[in-house]
């Protein structure tokens, strides 16, 4: 893992799960993301755990108002009636970065998980914040972080206008 990728940068992790928010089960994917981000050097607190739908939308607005460098969400990207993470995220994004979302799905499929292509996660910019909707599973999160690691530093450097 890349040490220093997030040095001097702040990240927020949001877990989108109605059942985890209600205490039915423990959030397992959010802590995986937090561990990786800390290894990369980001300042990051514990995951914010919220219910699907409007609760997530409100939480994401609050998180973005604090202007972190990076927001990674986990969960709510599937096809069930309550999976609304992309719908809550899209109105808050100024620009999409579709190649990253496509690469995350392709990485899962390449690792033998054909259902990875069903993820509807988005990646984009909300102001100067890089936002990525990751899958809700620990494996999907790890695959997504493998995809992000080699490009995230460059992306974060570009956002404020640094030369590439």
Reduced to 3 states, what is the DSSP secondary structure of residue 129?
A: strand
Tens-place pLDDT, residues 43-78: 999 999 999 999 999 999 999 999 999 999 999 999
What Cα–Cα distance (Å) separates residue 75 from each residue in 9, 27, 36, 119, 139?
24, 10, 17, 10, 12
pLDDT averaged over every residue in the chain: 95
Residue 157 contacts by C-beta under 8 Å, 6 or more apart in sequence?
A: 164
Question: Which among 56, 43, 51, 48 is positioned nearest to 90, based on CA atoms?
Answer: 56
pTM: 0.96
What stretch of H or E contains 16? strand 10-16
Domain range summary for the chain, segments of one domain joined by +? 10-157
pLDDT for 71 equals 98
- The pLDDT, as a whole number, for residue 37 is 98
pLDDT in tens, 85-140: 999 999 999 999 999 999 999 999 999 999 999 999 999 999 999 999 999 999 99
Rounding to the nearest 10 degrees, give the CA dihedral for residues 51, 53, 59, 64. 140
User: Is the pLDDT confidence value at 164 over 70?
Assistant: no
Give me the pLDDT at residue 161, please.
Answer: 87
SS3 65: helix
**Is the pLDDT assigned to residue 2 strictly greater than 60?**
no
The pLDDT assigned to 4 comes to 81
Q: Which pLDDT does position 145 carry in this prediction? A: 98
CATH 3.30.70.890 holds for 10-157: no
The secondary structure of 69-118 as a DSSP string is SEEEEES--SSSTT--HHHHHGGG-SEE-HHHHHHHHHHHHHTT-GGGGG
**Residue 80 backbone class (left: φ over 0; alpha: ψ -120 to 50; beta: rest):** beta
Q: What is the mean pLDDT of residues 8-34?
A: 96
Residue 71 CA, chain-centre distance (Å), reads: 6
């Amino acid at each position: 893992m890349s040490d220093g990728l997030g040095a001097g940068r702040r990240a927020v992790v949001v877990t989108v799960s109605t059942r985890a928010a209600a205490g039915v089960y423990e959030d397992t994917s959010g802590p995986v993301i937090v561990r990786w981000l800390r290894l990369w050097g980001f300042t990051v607190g514990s995951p914010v755990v919220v219910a699907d739908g409007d609760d997530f939308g409100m939480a994401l607005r609050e998180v973005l108002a604090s202007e972190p460098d990076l927001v990674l969400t986990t969960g709510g990207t599937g096809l069930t009636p309550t999976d609304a993470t992309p719908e809550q995220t899209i109105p808050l994004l100024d620009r999409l970065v579709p190649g990253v979302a496509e690469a995350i799905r392709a990485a899962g499929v390449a690792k033998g998980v054909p259902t990875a292509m069903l993820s509807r996660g988005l990646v984009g910019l909300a102001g100067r914040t890089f936002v990525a909707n990751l899958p809700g599973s620990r494996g999907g999160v790890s695959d997504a972080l493998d995809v992000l690691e080699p490009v995230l530093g460059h992306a974060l450097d570009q956002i404020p206008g640094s030369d590439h």
